[in-house]
Amino acid sequence: MNRITSFEQYQQEYKRSVETPEAFWAEQAEQFTWHKKWDNVLEWNFDEPSIKWFIGGQLNITENCLDRHLEKRGNQTALIWEPNNPEDEVRKFTYKELHSEVCRFANVLKKNGAKKGDRICIYMPMIPELTIAVLACARIGAIHSVVFGGFSFKSLSDRIHDADCNVVITSDGAYRGAKEIPLKNVIDEALLTCPSVKKVIVYKHINTEVKMESGRDVWWQDEIKNSSADCPAEIMDAEDMLFILYTSGSTGKPKGVVHTIAGYMTFVDYTFRNVFQYNDGDIFWCTADVGWITGHSYLVYGPLLAGGTTLMFEGIPTYPDAGRFWQVIDKHQVAIFYTAPTAIRSLEALGLDFVKPYKLDSLKVLGTVGEPINEFAWNWYNENIGKKKCPIVDTWWQTETGGIMISPLAGITKTKPGFATLPLPGVQPILLDEQGKELQGNNVEGRLCFKFPWPGIIRTTYQNHKRCKETYFETFKGYYFTGDACKRDEEGYYHISGRVDDVIKVSGHLLGTSEIENAIDQHPDIVESAVVGFPHEIKGWGIYAFVICEHERKDADALKKEIIETVTKNMGAIAKPDKIQVVQGLPKTRSGKIMRRILRKIAEGDLSNLGDTSTLLDPSIVEEIKKGAH
């Protein structure tokens, strides 16, 4: 397997990738199975934006994830599944078995009316059938839209609506530690407002009672029984859509980030092999849910494209106790472990007694993703989990980038606590000041942008190209803007400082403040709300909600509880506010815009320096809010 093996080679490859990007990426794409090779590697323009890779090429990504490996690796394990309950049976699939399951389910999809180009919503627990469903969609050329199982009915129905899905794949429920989550009930509620959905395929997983709507709902297990394992892959164009994945933005409506087949495939495969320095036989464990981009790229597609063995875990890090991650690493002899800083911080807080019983000697590489990792947590991870022998790759990227952009290459380039370090070959970062002027040299801090396309870049936001253009390509003309602030230190290493827009990273999950506000406003007593983030020791950022009530409520605690329930029901438990403050009014400008800067300062507990409040409609509101802050 071709990958970078020394720092000098990294430097050479980087240089080559900038000087001749098309030749560089064409070389990476050569190894794949193509029905027809591309005519042209790249056509792009960041103004529209219009970005196309491997134009004219024809392929199917599942042939590259599965069929391509059958001859050499047919009997090698492709997927290991560790259940929520450690007493339950582990499931393993060889490449041959996974191929056959994907084909069988692809035929089930076809039988249920799904076809090339359809959008299919997948709302499932972390079980092998989730991976199988994703790949089966890709097999028949349908576009998957996986919605994280932690989202509730309103978020789910918004996403199904936006993508106009005709099929939903789900299960009766999910296990989450000691809890059972009734997924099918959430689907039923969501579908009350989604007439486009004609079929719901339900996998029986927790054996709970569910309502099956006749003519619409079918059981996975019934449908798969006589389904043939012969399903030729649909031949797709390189720039056909592979999936839509919703991410939060600064409006209440989630954005459907669109990735297309060949570019995404090439980028994810390249970054997987190089960042993690994956070797044949390594067990790779990415703890992210497939409902997020990390799960798409580095639990499903990346490891399978590379012919690797990927581990999927259904449960949570603290069940049955806070040693579960480490127990699973020993049990399956995991070589590469990729997780979120939030998980590390929460396990670190629970103490070393949960780590000590485990050897962890199979580990070679550790990774983090999704949010900045503070130096303390980085050191804890390095010393107690990696035993100072495993390089830590702090990987910076986004749903929109498709794959890892800035990161050390494990054991090849230097690591630095708190730093994502250096761009990967093919990735051209640039720091701009607020006016869009390039900040040259080192020791500078600005807005992180990219000046040249990479194959995994977002192509559009589903059915709303204007939003894609406005969000990513208009702030700084001619550049892709990430929404992050970033520092380049004296050595040229990149450190991500955090978001500069109205989204919050809560436990590594990107949540839009207005989406949370919309959920809060569903409470009948709430007239208006404003949500901001505040630094949180474990979660990175917590959610602080300022709410205005229609009538005064004496039972403040009961009100807060109801608000939390409302958010959980409408959006999901991940968006529950940590702090709720009832206020008489919000600090608004004369034009009615909420001055979030002031609320952010108050939420952070920094009451001394609120900046200029003279443009506010009613500056006295600020005093009242300050008094009630906690």
* Complex with ligand PRX: residue 17 or 247, whichever CB lies closer: 247
Binding of ligand PRX by 247 (CB under 6 A): yes
Which of the stretches 62-70, 189-197, 232-240, 390-398 binds ligand PRX when contact is defined by CB under 6 A? 390-398
Q: Is residue 140 a contact partner of residue 95, using CB atoms and an 8 Å limit?
A: no
Binding of ligand PRX by 264 (CB under 6 A): no
- Residues that bind ligand PRX (rule: CB under 6 A) add up to a total of 21
What are the C-alpha distances in Å from 186 to residues 307, 433, 537, 543? 36, 45, 32, 24
Binding of ligand PRX by 126 (CB under 6 A): no
Binding of ligand PRX by 529 (CB under 6 A): no
Coil/strand/helix, residue 27:
helix
Binding of ligand PRX by 499 (CB under 6 A): yes
Residue 38 C-beta: closest distance to ligand PRX, Å: 27
Binding of ligand PRX by 342 (CB under 6 A): no
Among 291, 315, 370, 587, binds ligand PRX (CB under 6 A): 370
Which of the stretches 98-106, 482-490, 542-550, 574-582 binds ligand PRX when contact is defined by CB under 6 A? 482-490
Which of the stretches 25-33, 392-400, 431-439, 523-531 binds ligand PRX when contact is defined by CB under 6 A? 392-400
Which of the stretches 75-83, 265-273, 391-399, 604-612 binds ligand PRX when contact is defined by CB under 6 A? 391-399
**Per-residue string for binding with ligand PRX, 429-468, x by CB under 6 A?**
----------------------------------------
What is the rounded CA–CA span in Å between residue 224 and residue 106?
10
Binding of ligand PRX by 399 (CB under 6 A): yes
Binding of ligand PRX by 369 (CB under 6 A): yes
Among 82, 129, 172, 394, binds ligand PRX (CB under 6 A): 394
CB atoms within 10 A of CB 589: 11
DSSP strand E in 330-381: where? 336-339, 365-369
Residue (of 289, 548, 559) closest to 297 by Cα position: 289
Binding of ligand PRX by 515 (CB under 6 A): no
Among 199, 505, 523, 560, binds ligand PRX (CB under 6 A): 505
Q: What is the 3-state secondary structure (H, E, C) of 290-340?
A: CCCHHHHHHHHHHHHHCCCEEEEECCCCCCCCCCHHHHHHHHHCCCEEEEC
Among 367, 372, 426, 455, binds ligand PRX (CB under 6 A): 372
Residue (of 542, 478, 555) closest to 505 by Cα position: 542
Burial class (CB within 10 angstroms; exposed 0-12, middle 13-18, buried 19+) of 180: middle
Among 157, 260, 395, 570, binds ligand PRX (CB under 6 A): 395
- The residues in 74-93 that bind ligand PRX, with binding defined as CB under 6 A, are none
Residue with tokens 């809060």: 520
Q: Which residue number has the CB closest to ligand PRX?
A: 399
Binding of ligand PRX by 415 (CB under 6 A): no
Binding of ligand PRX by 95 (CB under 6 A): no
Which of the stretches 135-143, 427-435, 479-487, 518-526 binds ligand PRX when contact is defined by CB under 6 A? 479-487
What is the rounded CA–CA span in Å between residue 219 and residue 100?
19
What is the rounded CA–CA span in Å between residue 14 and residue 363?
28
What are the C-alpha distances in Å from 533 to residues 202, 238, 523? 37, 40, 21
* Complex with ligand PRX: residue 408 or 587, whichever CB lies closer: 408
* Complex with ligand PRX: residue 29 or 257, whichever CB lies closer: 257
Residue 320: asked if its preceding bond is cis (omega within 30°), the reply is yes
Q: What tokens does 362 get? A: 């199979």
Coil/strand/helix, residue 43:
strand
What are the C-alpha distances in Å from 400 to residues 139, 140, 226, 455, 605? 23, 24, 39, 11, 33
Which of the stretches 218-226, 262-270, 319-327, 478-486 binds ligand PRX when contact is defined by CB under 6 A? 478-486
- For 561, residues 6+ apart whose C-beta sits below 8 A from its C-beta are none
Binding of ligand PRX by 398 (CB under 6 A): yes
Binding of ligand PRX by 502 (CB under 6 A): no
Q: Which residues bind ligand PRX (CB under 6 A)?
A: 247, 293-294, 369-372, 394-399, 420, 482-484, 496, 499, 505, 510
